Amino acid sequence: MSLLKLRKFRALTLLFCIITFTMVLFNYTLRDPSAYFFKYAFRLSDTVFPRGPCSCRRCVAETEDDPWFAERFNQSFHPVMSRKGSVLTDDTYRWWQWLQAERQPANFTEVVDKLFQIIPDKEFYADSRPDRCRTCSVVGNSGNLKDSHYGPLIDASDFVIRMNQAPTEGFEKDVGYRTTHHLMYPESAVDLGNSTCLILIPFKTLDLEWLISALTTGTIKYTYLPVTANIKANKDKVMVYNPSFFKYVYDTWLEGHGRYPSTGFLALMFAIHVCDEVNVYGFGADHYGNWHHYWEDNLLGGAFRHTGVHDGDYEYNVTALLADKHKIKLFKGS
């Protein structure tokens, strides 16, 4: 090669490198302006740096970057109860039984034993891997979802988690079509589609007995309120929120604020422990500062913030803090 040609070749190569580098840089910056993009660029090469706990751009379970989170996040607690995980310490049993005190609770061990003859006994979601990127939408019931047009965004996640009476029919544009998990307690139960997992949040032993009954004979029609006797749900997809996890959420994440956590907060904590990326919709007040459900017009009808049981302000502060630390993404709605 002549000297001139060599110079030209070098110049072209340099130009090519600069363009490629700029494009990569631009691409990462565009997709995530606030990201530490070097970390993710380097993550492409596993041989140089060890891999993170998941393959999303950010992983919830990453505890190295935040001491506040690391101090609280404890994966030895499983949100879903299995037969093996159903043994409660005396302390946990006492706390849990106190939530909605029963006069004469049935024998917990025996009820659990009967329950697992009907619902699956599995270690659900103990499957985090460096090559997994499970995205989740947690959909609360706030009126701030009205006219949000979040539907398609919510549906795009692997898991779509809803709670209590939340309807989708007629609100799809704002809340989406899909539901993979639906959290409820006996007094807030609704029928579910065949592909949705029912997650029962039990507040007393009677709630577990209700679940057995509601999936079979339908004999229990009353707890402290009239409850639905039979529930439509796929028995292969019924799970129970673990009382030990329930207490961990209350002690560790709410530091004892309120009497017990709200369903919304319990759903959020479920998501943080089974998902790699968590997007949160329909939490908090709407832009007028009103607290109501998205399916209710009457603003006075659903003042769920002032139940006296939950510390909504404290829960919202923790939620906002998780968002500040990029552990969750909070979509504030309209």
Ligand X SMILES: *[C@@H]1O[C@H](CO)[C@@H](O)[C@H](O)[C@H]1NC(C)=O
Burial class (CB in 10 A: 0-12, 13-18, 19+), 248: buried
* Closest to ligand X by CB, 34 or 107: 107
* Closest to ligand X by CB, 100 or 252: 252
- Nearest distance, CB of residue 263 and ligand X, angstroms: 19
- Using DSSP, state whether 295 is helix, strand or coil: coil
| Residues contacting residue 14 through CB under 8 Å, at least 6 positions apart | none
Q: How many residues bind ligand X (CB under 6 A)?
A: 11
Site for ligand X in 198-257 (CB under 6 A): 234, 236
Q: Does the annotation list 104 as a binding residue?
A: no
Show the tokens assigned to 67: 């001491």
Q: Does the annotation list 141 as a binding residue?
A: yes
Annotated catalytic residue within 181, 182, 273, 310: 310
257 has catalytic annotation: no
CA angle 190, 233, 132 (to 5 degrees): 105
How many angstroms separate the CA atoms of 85 and 296, rounded?
39
Q: Does the annotation list 292 as a binding residue?
A: no
> Does 317 sit near ligand X (CB under 6 A)?
yes
- Nearest distance, CB of residue 107 and ligand X, angstroms: 4
Site for ligand X in 155-194 (CB under 6 A): 194
Count the neighbouring beta carbons within 10 Å of the beta carbon of residue 201: 23
> Does 116 sit near ligand X (CB under 6 A)?
no
- Nearest distance, CB of residue 23 and ligand X, angstroms: 41
| Residues contacting residue 154 through CB under 8 Å, at least 6 positions apart | 137, 139, 160, 175, 176, 178, 279, 281
Among 65, 191, 251, 313, binds ligand X (CB under 6 A): 313
Show the tokens assigned to 332: 């504030």
- Nearest distance, CB of residue 110 and ligand X, angstroms: 5
* Closest to ligand X by CB, 105 or 167: 105
185 has catalytic annotation: no
Among 2, 47, 76, 117, binds ligand X (CB under 6 A): 76
Stretch that binds ligand X, among 31-39, 178-186, 259-267, 309-317 (CB under 6 A): 309-317
* Closest to ligand X by CB, 8 or 235: 235
> Does 124 sit near ligand X (CB under 6 A)?
no
Q: How far is CA 214 from CA 59, 190, 207, 222, in A?
A: 38, 11, 10, 11
* 258: DSSP letter: S
User: What sign does the CA torsion over 42, 45, 49, 54 have?
Assistant: positive
- Using DSSP, state whether 306 is helix, strand or coil: helix
Closest to 78 in 3D by CA, of 35, 128, 36:
128
Q: Does the annotation list 293 as a binding residue?
A: yes
Stretch that binds ligand X, among 177-185, 196-204, 261-269, 312-320 (CB under 6 A): 312-320
- Nearest distance, CB of residue 208 and ligand X, angstroms: 14
> Does 74 sit near ligand X (CB under 6 A)?
yes
User: Rounded to the nearest 5°, which phi and psi values hold at 137?
Assistant: -110, 125
- Using DSSP, state whether 183 is helix, strand or coil: strand
> Does 89 sit near ligand X (CB under 6 A)?
no
How many angstroms separate the CA atoms of 84 and 123, rounded?
9
Q: Are 167 and 295 in contact (CB under 8 A)?
A: yes
* Closest to ligand X by CB, 151 or 264: 264
Annotated catalytic residue within 185, 241, 248, 260: 260
Residue found by looking up tokens 């995205």 in the block: 135
- Nearest distance, CB of residue 320 and ligand X, angstroms: 8
Annotated binding site for substrate: 100, 141, 164, 224, 260, 264, 284, 293, 310
Residues that are catalytic: 260, 310
Q: Give residues in contact with ligand X (CB under 6 A).
A: 74, 76, 107, 109-110, 194, 234, 236, 313-314, 317
